[in-house]
Amino acid sequence: MKIAILDDTLDSIRHLACFARLAGHEVRIWNDHTKDTDTLAERLRDTEALVLIRERTPIRAPLIERLDRLRLISQRSVYPHIDIDACTRRGIVVSSDMHPGHPSFATAELTWGLVIAAMRGIPRQMAALKAGGWQTMLGTGLRGRTLGILGYGRIGARVAGYGRAFGMNVLAWGRAGSADRARADGHEVVGKEALFERSDVLSVHARATKDTAGLVTAADLARMKPTALFVNTSRAAIVEPGALVAALEAGRPGMAAVDVYEEEPVPGGAHPLLAMENVVATPHIGYVERDGMEAAFSTIFDQVLAFAAGKPVNVVNPGALGARGA
């Protein structure tokens, strides 16, 4: 099969051990990022199997309708960036392993890296030391403080467990199912207003869907303490556009740590959060970790091989099966 892999900006995929599974197939890897439909249509015109890295590139009907040879899209996790109906109409199978019970440990770990970096001012202290200075601020410890988890799913539950290990009191807010899980884990479940008012560190772990877009509002952020830290390693769209920058400028919360942005990659580093001293920011590296990538792409490539063998797995749109010889 002719296989294309988009958005491998680190040029890392071909160095994974699992990449050898595609031996015998014609593989083209693109190391840049584009959302331009004309450019993508030209690049993918002969592609039979398309491999996606998370949600980096939207695959919508205007593009899908121009990809006459495409038969499979293989990826992992949620798929709000793919027009499933358009794929089904065109007989394009979408295979996506949802890996139930297996959280992104890498994202949970990075969340805590950001929390500690922000609360102790590590980037600022490093910059001062490299510039010939010494201690520049009085940081804040975590023990005895309150951690709020917005969205108690697989990653949120793991972050809450890490918070407990640091001696923090954990609050949770989410839908009925996740609230029940939080209670079962021994955490206090509160209303949304109380979560923002009481948390010293508030970490977002909700999926980006049409229902969660703008879930965190300016009014929510305004309820936070001036000493509090807001953390987002999920998706930027969960926060109301412009609300976090305005809230930080107003002093509630006092700090933020972010790994996600409205437009990725951030064009030319031109994002207002990156210019703020009270923000710790990383370039969406939550899931970008060797073991996690190996596990994810092992599954993604196995989906490609299963399709090539005529036995597709993890099919999101079974209505596409049988069309165009799938």
- Give catalytic residues, as residue numbers: 235, 264, 284
Contact, 90 vs 65, CB < 8 A? yes
Strand ranges of the sheet holding 93-97, from the earlier edge strand across to the other edge? 26-29, 2-5, 49-51, 72-76, 93-97
**Amino acid identity at 301:** F
Beta-strand relationship, 255-258 and 188-189: unpaired
Contact, 4 vs 43, CB < 8 A? yes
CA distance 88 to 83: 9
**Amino acid identity at 102:** H
Query: Can you say how many angstroms the Cα of residue 256 is from the centroid of all Cα atoms in its chain?
Result: 17
Q: Which of 85, 44, 39 is nearest to 67 (CA)?
A: 44
Count the neighbouring beta carbons within 10 Å of the beta carbon of residue 191. 10
CA distance 229 to 199: 8
Count the neighbouring beta carbons within 10 Å of the beta carbon of residue 223. 19
Helix and strand numbers (H, E) in the chain are 11, 12
Count the neighbouring beta carbons within 10 Å of the beta carbon of residue 60. 14
